[in-house]
A and B are shown apart, each in its own frame.
Chain A
Amino acid sequence: AQSVTQLGSHVSVSEGALVLLRCNYSSSVPPYLFWYVQYPNQGLQLLLKYTSAATLVKGINGFEAEFKKSETSFHLTKPSAHMSDAAEYFCAVSPLSNTDKLIFGTGTRLQVFP
């Protein structure tokens, strides 16, 4: 069965610092991988997705993630944090073999200090 592990329920960085949010997955088939962001009082918004094309995926708002099969990881990074990046981030996997339901991690709340 597929599963997703997000290390660190809370991450704090200073404005301008590197953002690194960790995600590891387990899947018996090549998965599709996603990062979603939830800003306060809003729905989840897709940041980026990996669909077995390029292993380095660029998303919105300067975020990117690299698919590493050998490490079963899909970590999310951004070179320089902005105050507006403060939100909760969710990694998700979809097997897309017999279903396209999303399987989420527990989320990481990102706090950005001035």
Chain B
Amino acid sequence: EAGVTQFPSHSVIEKGQTVTLRCDPISGHDNLYWYRRVMGKEIKFLLHFVKESKQDESGMPNNRFLAERTGGTYSTLKVQPAELEDSGVYFCASSQDYGFEQYFGPGTRLTVT
């Protein structure tokens, strides 16, 4: 069974540009989560999808971040326009059901210069 995959693994962009991160959850997992780790700090929750619906988006930092999960399969996280403080590692996780184990992808390392 394939795990959670994320694309790209690394992205370097300039301030003001747009970047789109993609996450493919484990097949059949209705729950999908985005987290972010800024250098040296804790991993922070961004949002939670149940199928295509946003269950909890309390961690989204501002309206420059847009997450979608059309069709309830893969998800994208767009940052537009990117700022320097957006640099970090973005993790995606999926789970079979509420309260079940969350399986994490390897992360996308975003660097904004």
Q: Is B42 a contact of A105 with CB atoms below 8 Å?
A: yes
Bound CA–CA A104/B93 (angstroms): 14
Total interface residues on A, using CB and 8 Å? 23
Answer whether residue A7 sits at the interface, using C-beta atoms and an 8 A cutoff: no
Answer whether residue B74 sits at the interface, using C-beta atoms and an 8 A cutoff: no
Q: Which stretch of A21-29, A40-48, A64-72, A75-83 is in the interface? A: A40-48
With A102-B33, A106-B42 given, name 10 new contacts (CB 8 A): A43-B91, A43-B106, A44-B91, A45-B104, A46-B101, A99-B56, A100-B31, A100-B102, A101-B56, A106-B41
Instruction: State which residues 65-114 of A face B: CB under 8 Å.
Output: 90, 92, 94, 96, 99-107
Q: Is B4 a contact of A43 with CB atoms below 8 Å?
A: yes
What 10 A-B pairs have minimum CB-CB distances, sorted nearest first? A43-B104, A44-B104, A104-B43, A101-B45, A43-B106, A106-B42, A104-B42, A43-B105, A100-B99, A99-B56
* Chain B 21-50: CB-based contact to A (< 8 A → 1; otherwise 0): 000000000010101000011111100100
Residues in B with CB closer than 8 Å to A94 are 99
Residues in B with CB closer than 8 Å to A42 are 106
Answer whether residue B88 sits at the interface, using C-beta atoms and an 8 A cutoff: no
Nearest residue in B to A92 (C-beta to C-beta)? B43
Residues of A within 8 A of B (CB): 4, 32, 36, 41-46, 49, 90, 92, 94, 96, 99-107
Q: How far is the CB of A56 from chain B (nearest CB, A)?
A: 19
Q: How far is the CB of B33 from chain A (nearest CB, A)?
A: 7
Residues in B with CB closer than 8 Å to A44 are 43, 91, 93, 104
24 contacts between A and B (CB under 8 A): A36-B104, A41-B106, A43-B4, A43-B103, A43-B104, A43-B105, A44-B43, A44-B104, A45-B104, A46-B101, A49-B101, A94-B99, A99-B55, A100-B48, A100-B98, A101-B56, A101-B59, A102-B102, A103-B45, A104-B42, A104-B43, A106-B42, A107-B42, A107-B43
